[in-house]
Amino acid sequence: MAATAHTDPPSDAAPPRPLAVPAPRPRGAWDAWGSEAARLPAAAKAIVATVLPGKAHPVRRRAVPALTPSRLSGADLDALAGVVGRDQVTPDDEVRLQHLGGKSTPDLLRRRLDDPQAAPDAVASPAGHDEVAAVLSLCAERDIAVVPFGGGTSVVGGVDPARGAHRAVIALDLTRTAALLALDEVSLLATFGAGTTGPQAEELLGARGLTLGHFPQSFAYASLGGYAATRSSGQASRGYGRFDDLVHALRVATPAGDLTLGRSPASAAGPDLRQLLLGSEGAFGVLTEVTVRVRPIPAATVYRAWSFPDFASGASAFREATQRGIRPTVLRLSDESETRVNAAMGGHLTRLRGSLAVATFEGATASEAEGTRDDLDAVFTAHGATSRGEDPARSWERGRFASPALRDTLMDSGILAETLETATTWTHLPALKRAVTAALTETLTEIGTKPIVLCHISHVYPAGASLYFTVVAALTGDPQTQWATAKDAASRAIAESHGTITHHHAVGRDHRPYLEAEIGALGVEVLRAVKGVLDPTGIMNPGALVTPAPTADRA
């Protein structure tokens, strides 16, 4: 018998018991992507030593640093403890250290170079929606900013412990909300606490023969609430859709009150208010429960890779296949530079040339998956592709979550390795790729550290596709300014070349200066108006996404 998603309980009722609570998951290291840095292959070290010009300046990991002192009083901590429990709120440095912000290269550089580290004044860990709502009410009364914190994997400054104009800031750690709260096996809908991580969700669903199928590169650590708050897009987006495509309903706690959004699979009852919260990055409130579409675990998976003569022919094939409605589960195209570098790092120096495409295909039967593969193969062959069998696709899948941790080892050796992403229409894709590549290359070359710039397509739509860039260069003696200068040049090139400032990394604080160029001054004012209604005192994640209007303008 299928369980159904619960309705809001009366205010005096205890919350419903979860269907299942997952085993705890480890956090990443405070100063690195994962719990242990990935090893740099010998071939990669050779590439770094021979290809990258400029003197490399190693930036090594350090001992545990000093943190900024907590600004919260004993009365503040007692009040928070009265909501979440004495053991679930702490100003201890050991806990605050795990909540210093996200995991971009600027974040990691700050942790290696700055002293003391800017830390939240305390970390509070609510158990569910009602406790979250009570914490927000309390913090609004006491002028304490709140930064919702899931997996801490933001790469755009989305979870920095910023207090803005407020007297203190807490990190609101959502780990204790992790749970499968309800499951409707008829409608294939599952409701999770927002702090549930990707692996936890797959474990809980897998026990019931189901999957969510959302696998971003941050999968090992990121939370479902974070996926929704940033409009995440997983590596299987062609088959499963972006995360916002998977969201059926949301429960949200805001300083102004609660929202329960998403009653039916489709509605014409005015604008879809879920869209105001999807991508809101904790600036309006806290997503506490997320109801998502799930599906049976596929019975069969098939793999295939192809090489194209060049990136342009590969992109043309991707466009035709997508517009014809062919739906592999994963579909990725590396440009010539990325293909060469990946081949060298894997020890395949001469086997792969041109532009490599990899794909996976899922189905209820092997023949169903093979049929989609054959349809894609026909299109690709017509565009000059050569089949490379299964191995490159299987190899990519084995290592698909490992590359972010390589930044840690490279930084130790004085090498910058960072990413940025965008999307545009098929018409503008070639020019956008050229513009961003040129901006990165010219800016870093002027500094004296000519880079290697790699690019791939990993998310496709009938009207266009994403571009995901990786930049590798020698670190200068001022690496923070080095990357900030290059990122600004690339961001301006994106804005001037019909691209979006972010396809799936979100706005955070890093992309906020470029948001108005994309949505216009009036669009920014709309976001400010929403923040003014839902977060009238401006305590929610100050500086992320949008800044509040001046007090005089809100009066």
Pick from 293, 88, 297, 262: which is nearest to 192 by CA? 293
Please report, for the domain that includes residue 379, its CATH number.
3.30.70.3450
d(CA 400, CA 332): 12
Which one of 254, 279, 296 terminates a domain? 296
* pLDDT value, residue 413: 86
What whole-number distance in Å separates Cα of residue 78 and Cα of residue 86?
8
Whether the CB-CB separation of 60 and 112 falls below 8 Å is answered with yes
Does residue 6 lie in a domain region? no
CB 452 within 8 A of CB 51: yes
Count of domains observed in the chain: 4
Q: Is 171 found in the same domain as 98?
A: yes
**Count of CB atoms situated within 10 Å of the CB of 42:** 10
pLDDT given at position 219: 95
Number of C-beta neighbours around residue 485 at 10 A: 15
Q: Write down the pLDDT at residue 402.
A: 84
Angle between helix axes 105-113 and 479-496 (nearest 10 degrees) is 160
Last residue of a domain, one of 362, 384, 399: 399
Q: Answer yes or no: is 26 within a domain.
A: no
Task: Answer yes or no: is 194 within a domain.
Answer: yes
Q: 305 has which bridge partners?
A: 358, 389
Helix (H, G, I), strand (E, B) or coil at 522: helix
Residues 71 and 168 grouped into a single domain: yes
Q: Are residues 106 and 136 in the same domain?
A: yes
| 315 and 392 housed in the same domain | yes
Nearest to 71 by CA among 153, 145, 172: 145
Contact 507, 545 (CB under 8 A): yes
Q: Are residues 84 and 198 in the same domain?
A: no
Domain that holds residue 139: 49-176
pLDDT of residue 383: 98
CA atoms of 527 and 282, how far apart (whole Å): 13
> SS3 of 474, please?
strand
Residue 502 placed within a domain: no
Residues 307 and 375 in one domain: yes
Q: How far apart are CA 72 and CA 543, in angstroms?
A: 21
Instruction: CATH number of the domain at 214, please.
Output: 3.30.465.10
Is 506 a domain residue? no
The residue assigned the tokens 């480890």 is: 26
Q: What is the predicted pLDDT for the residue at 35? A: 66
The DSSP code for 201 is H
> How much is the pLDDT for 552?
40
pLDDT of 346 reads 63
Residues 185 and 140 in one domain: no
CATH number, position 165:
3.30.43.10
Structure tokens at 16: 């419903």
Low-confidence ranges of the chain (pLDDT < 70): 1-15, 35-51, 346-352, 550-555
Burial (Cβ within 10 Å: 0-12, 13-18, ≥19) of residue 14: exposed
**Length in residues, the chain:** 555
Residue ending a domain, choose from 399, 429, 446: 399
Is 127 inside any structural domain? yes
> What does the pLDDT look like over 115-172, one tens digit per residue?
999 999 999 999 999 999 999 999 999 999 999 999 999 999 999 999 999 999 999 9
**Pair (130, 196) in one structural domain:** no
Q: Quick one: 53 and 166 in the same domain?
A: yes
As a whole number of angstroms, the distance between CA 548 and CA 531 comes to: 7
| Contact by Cβ (8 Å): 352, 339 | yes
Q: Quick one: 289 and 309 in the same domain? A: no
The conformation of residue 163, written as its DSSP 8-state character, comes to -
Residue at 215 is within a domain: yes
* Rounded (10°) CA dihedral 186, 195, 33, 214: 10
Q: Are residues 196 and 277 in the same domain?
A: yes
Q: Within a domain: residue 85?
A: yes
Q: Clarify whether residues 187 and 172 are in a common domain.
A: no
pLDDT score of 272: 96
